[in-house]
Structure 1
Amino acid sequence: MPITGHCLCKAVTFSADVEAPLVTGYDHCDDCQRQSGSTYSLVVVVPKDKLTTTGPIKKWKGIADSGNAVYRWFCSECGSPIAHDPEAAPVIALKGGCLDTELKKALKPDVEIWTVGKLPFCQEKLAHPFEHMPTQ
């Protein structure tokens, strides 16, 4: 069953041809906090080569702590964040809030990444923590 979703206005749709995400977790990095407007971003990581998108996607290029580019994808019509795409990795992190409703309800986040950026008032352990992006 593919992972499918769309932005708020439904102008952008996506589908990842995978049985399950590689990772489902909470991303506490500062950039994800800013893009989501919340204390963390729920992400669903899939291989880039399995993802198909349609619609008016705008990409903003940022630079990660590693010095590599990370592209933040969002709908150019409604502004909904869609994904963050680390240029140096073969995976892309879809924003969990954009998944189709039944898929969102079935998510089971199992990791927290970039806990080094976790806000002091949000210290409850949500899942298996990694200070930065896990390498394995």
Structure 2
Amino acid sequence: MVLTGHCLCKAVTYSIDMDKPLVVGYDHCDDCQRQSGSTYSLVAVVLKDKLTIKGPTKSWAGKGSSGQAVHRIFCSECGSPIAHDPDSAPPIIAIKAGTLDTEIKKGLKPDTEIWTAGKLPFMTESLPNAFEHMPPS
């Protein structure tokens, strides 16, 4: 099976040659809250070498908690965030799960929370795997 998705305006499309993500989780870090404009970012972590992105993207790199860059990839036409790519974990990339095709995202089952140190107090749901910062490698 291939996972597929696109940005809001459909100028950027992607495919991931995997049956399912490695991890589906809530990222509560301040940067993800700001990028998503919401309380967390729902991410689907996949192997970077299985991802193919087509269309006009831009990226912006900020310093992550590791001290290394986190590249935030977005559509240069509509601004939809597509993924964040941390230099500290080269084999993986975190796809913004809301950009997955509808039938795929309906089947997601989040199981992990990261950066619970930044979790907003009114967020009461807790997932089985919760990490105050990043999970151990």
What is the CA–CA distance in structure 2 between the aligned matches of 1:58 and 1:14, rounded to whole Å? 14
TM-score by length of 1: 0.96
Change (3 A) 1:111 1:20: same
SS for the counterpart of 1:33 is helix
Aligned to 2:41: 41
Measured after TM superposition, the shift of residue 88 of structure 1 is: 2.4
Unaligned runs of 5+ in 1: none
Aligned partners of 2:66 and 2:88 also within 8 Å: no
SS for the counterpart of 2:18 is coil
What is the CA–CA distance in structure 2 between the aligned matches of 1:76 and 1:99, rounded to whole Å? 18
Aligned to 1:93: 94
Aligned to 2:78: 78
What is the CA–CA distance in structure 2 between the aligned matches of 1:49 and 1:135, rounded to whole Å? 22
Instruction: State, as a whole percentage, how many aligned pairs show the same letter.
Output: 71
Aligned partners of 2:17 and 2:51 also within 8 Å: yes
Unaligned runs of 5+ in 2: none
SS for the counterpart of 2:72 is strand
- Runs of 4+ in structure 1 deviating by more than 6 angstroms, as ranges, are none
How many pairs were matched up?
136
What is the CA–CA distance in structure 2 between the aligned matches of 1:104 and 1:128, rounded to whole Å? 20
Measured after TM superposition, the shift of residue 127 of structure 1 is: 4.4
RMSD after superposition? 1.0
